[in-house]
Amino acid sequence: GGHWLYEKHCDNLLRRAACQEAQVFGNQLIPPNAQVEKATVFLNPAAGNKVQHITDATLAIVKGETVPLDVLQIKGEKEQPVFAVTSLRWGSFRDAGVKVSKYWYLGPLKTKAAHFFSTLKEWPQIHQASISYTGPSERPPSAAKETPPRPSLYRRILRRLTSYWAQQQDALSQEVSPEVWKEVQLSTIELSITMRNSQLDLTSKEDFMNICIEPDTVSKGDFITIGSKKVTDPELRAAGTECLQASRCTLLLPDGTGGSFSIDSEEYEAMPVEVKLLPRKLQFFCDPRKREQMLPSAAS
């Protein structure tokens, strides 16, 4: 599958020990035979024929046109961090969606059937948890593209000594303001943590992820209707969904909680996790026309 191959490639890349500590990631290539929908969004905004698609994608890579994508670092109590480029989902819509393939013999009705049979097991389906989060982080100004000439050795040594002494003075004079954390007790039919990669805003002054808490009052009919649409459009939300903006969060589950998470469409055991946003951690090749749409001020 295209999504799975793309997401697995990025996760494997970010899992490498050398990359976990790196501050800048290089441009990474996806295998050429992969049908990747996420890549299509950036490489070919005006979908035409296949020849035009391949040509535009190739030119974007040759020219080196890139856009920065955010990454989620998800860490459990024992395991190594898992990296996501789309979302983390936990709830009833996810549980029903992964069972659609079981009803293959129903043909086009298999999606609605999976959600219908899910409502027969237990209703209402409520997921309770506690989440602590801190708000959006300020986005630092972008660095200049032109690299200044390297100064002489003596000037570099003097600058380092001056910088070291200034840091010591600042550490003594400045007080570090503590992060403000908020705690929410939630009761939801589904919780999802997503990023803004599908709708990039390169002019934004803040970096954040969206914590979406869907209401636990969804009716059975709405569950079947919305859930069937979520299979193809996971970003669809039920009416009354509450969205929080955060740069870091901690999800705590009650003892004995079962079920599974979907992290980039891959299943993991549900457990307490810490989620951290890594802003603009991946540089993804992008069609120049798409980049101009995301930078209206630069285009004008």
The reported pLDDT for the residue numbered 169 is 61
Lowest mean pLDDT among 92-106, 164-178, 190-204, 256-270: 164-178
Q: Assign 299 a pLDDT band (cuts: 50, 70, 90).
A: very low
Q: How far is CA 266 from the centre of its chain?
A: 14
HSE-up (13 A, CA, CB side) for residue 223 = 29
Stretch 166-184: mean pLDDT, rounded?
A: 69
Q: Assign 205 a pLDDT band (cuts: 50, 70, 90).
A: confident
Tell me the C-alpha distance between 197 and 209, whole Å: 10
- Residue 99 or residue 78, greater confidence: 99
Stretch 209-235: mean pLDDT, rounded?
A: 92
Is pLDDT above 90 for 248? yes
Is pLDDT above 50 for 116? yes
* Domains of the chain listed by start with CATH number: 2-137+180-299 (2.60.200.40)
Tell me the C-alpha distance between 256 and 123, whole Å: 19
Dihedral through CA 95, CA 101, CA 105, CA 108, nearest 10? 80
User: What is this structure's pTM?
Assistant: 0.71
Beta bridge partners of 181: 134
The reported pLDDT for the residue numbered 17 is 44
The reported pLDDT for the residue numbered 105 is 92
